[in-house]
Amino acid sequence: MTTFARKQSLLDPGMDLTLRPMRYPLFYERFRDAIKNTWTVEEVDLHSDLADLNKLTPAERHLVNRLVAFFATGDTIVANNLVLNLYEHVNAPEARLYLSRQLFEEAVHVQFYLTLLDTYLPDENERIEAFAAVENIPSIRNKAEFCFKWIDSIEHLNRLHSKEDRRAFLLNLICFAACIEGLFFYGAFAYVYFLRSRGLLNGLASGTNWVFRDESMHMAFAFDVVDTVRREEPDLFDDELHDQVRQMLREAVDAETQFAEDLLVQGVAGLSLADMRSYLEHVADRRLAALGLAPEFNARNPFAFMELQDVQELSNFFERRVSAYQVAVTGTVSFDEDF
């Protein structure tokens, strides 16, 4: 039976309905910050990319086709895990407020990538093929299988009673924040910003700016949840859990490297597989640091165009909001530069 009574810790099963006194004001602040980043797909002009698509070399066109095929299902997987797993087990109404907002954002991302594929792939057969990539393209299927392995790992859990249940939940949460939003998507964004650095596909890059900010915040929230659980139940974070997290990140880097091999198979001038691997390792180390763990790879970021990303986005955000028409922005918005 569902209990409404207040719990001791965030992962105690039940349905806490009490917002005052608020146990986790930080989660409510995350919800308010997320609303400041409201955008719609209609604001993004993708048609300006059509002329660029005709300019691409065959190798670049292959990269773009693979990339959009990944985007066709990536956010749908995240949205499903969010509502089927995370929402159920994070037991605080202010945290569920944030997760509701995140679910909306994932839906906007799904709409954005649907619109992207419809615009970039006017041929119906090509379009259908791209949407089926998760079944037909091995490097994309491999990433989806990695996601589903961690979705399946907690599918049987209706209540997080034991410490083992809670560790399984934490692994799912960390997988989606650090490996999927924090690595697979960041890898994808790197291709977009590489193309932008060559003056290509500015429409895609401008939509990606919005998605990038959303994903940074999704990760930040998930890591706040991890920090909260660590404070409340430190004994969950034993060596075995930490080893599992490291192993998971190594697997994610390998899966994303396999995807990079596929994207870059024809050789894209200015973007080497070695640099992409180094970037992914560098990002994985940052995710480990956010989880309080030592680096695994000690890799450097070879992509100056990604280092600038957060700073540029923050200024663009305020410039854009000068002419804002949907959401009034008051106060400050802070983005953690670690992302």
Least distance from Fe ion to the Cβ atom of residue 189, Å: 11
Least distance from Fe ion to the Cβ atom of residue 144, Å: 15
Cβ proximity of 178 and 291 under 8 Å? yes
**Catalytic: which of 24, 87, 98, 113?**
113
**Residues of each annotated binding site for Fe cation:** 75, 106, 109, 181, 215, 218
Dihedral of alpha carbons 261, 267, 268, 272, sign? positive
Please tell me whether residue 106 binds Fe ion under the rule CB under 5 A. Answer: yes
Please tell me whether residue 52 binds Fe ion under the rule CB under 5 A. Answer: no
CB closer to Fe ion, 36 vs 218: 218
Dihedral of alpha carbons 68, 69, 75, 78, sign? negative
Among 218, 277, 282, 286, binds Fe ion (CB under 5 A): 218
Cβ proximity of 107 and 152 under 8 Å? no
Cβ proximity of 11 and 90 under 8 Å? yes
113 is catalytic: yes
Please tell me whether residue 94 binds Fe ion under the rule CB under 5 A. Answer: no
The C-alpha atoms of residue 103 and residue 80 are separated, in whole angstroms, by: 9
Give the phi and the psi of residue 180 in degrees, each rounded to 5.
-95, -65
Stretch that binds Fe ion, among 32-40, 62-70, 214-222, 247-255 (CB under 5 A): 214-222
**Could you say which residues in the range 165-184 bind Fe ion, by CB under 5 A?**
181
Least distance from Fe ion to the Cβ atom of residue 6, Å: 29
Classify residue 126 by burial, with Cβ atoms within 10 Å: 0-12, 13-18, 19+.
middle
CB closer to Fe ion, 46 vs 264: 46
Least distance from Fe ion to the Cβ atom of residue 106, Å: 5
Cβ proximity of 279 and 306 under 8 Å? yes
Cis peptide bond upstream of 234, omega within 30: no
Please tell me whether residue 33 binds Fe ion under the rule CB under 5 A. Answer: no
Q: In Å, how far are 55, 102, 106, 170 from 223, measured between CA atoms? A: 41, 14, 18, 10
**Could you say which residues in the range 227-266 bind Fe ion, by CB under 5 A?**
none
Among 12, 49, 52, 75, binds Fe ion (CB under 5 A): 75
Residues with Cβ < 8 Å from 103, sequence gap 6 or more?
79, 82, 83, 87
Stretch that binds Fe ion, among 61-69, 105-113, 141-149, 319-327 (CB under 5 A): 105-113
CB closer to Fe ion, 181 vs 275: 181
Stretch that binds Fe ion, among 68-76, 114-122, 165-173, 323-331 (CB under 5 A): 68-76
Chain residues binding Fe ion by CB under 5 A are 75, 106, 109, 181, 215, 218
Catalytic residues: 113
